[in-house]
Amino acid sequence: MSDAPYFHDASGTVRFWVGVEGGNHVSASIGREALRYHFRTAEGVDSLETFGRHVPEIEAAVRRRLAQGAMEPVMLREHDMRVAEG
């Protein structure tokens, strides 16, 4: 998928696509608050910039949600970003 991630003002989310098995892509989003709280950025920091610095971790969270049965579009929340310790 060649579409770049973008910030959707109306919903306050970064919208993006994640590659999955078979060469397919799944649409997903993460809110500015989830990005700010999880990555501990200051209020007003650009959400796309924060997203860009943490793409592998965010994509891994989308794949975990899919493995748990989530359907497209995957909407990540702050607690989805936490990796279970064990």
* Residue 67 belongs to domain with CATH number: 3.30.160.140
Query: Residue 4's pLDDT is what?
Result: 94
Rounded percentage of the chain residues whose pLDDT exceeds 90: 79
d(CA 16, CA 28): 5
Expressed as residue numbers, the domain containing 43 is: 6-81
- Please tell me the predicted confidence (pLDDT) of residue 23: 87
Q: What does pLDDT average to over the chain?
A: 91
Mean pLDDT of 17-36: 93
Whether residue 86 is contained in a domain is answered as: no
pLDDT at position 82 is: 82
pLDDT score at 49: 95
- Domain assignment present for residue 28? The answer is yes
Cα(33)–Cα(81) distance, integer angstroms:
12
Q: For residues 42-56, give the mean pLDDT.
A: 93
Please count the structural domains in the chain: 1
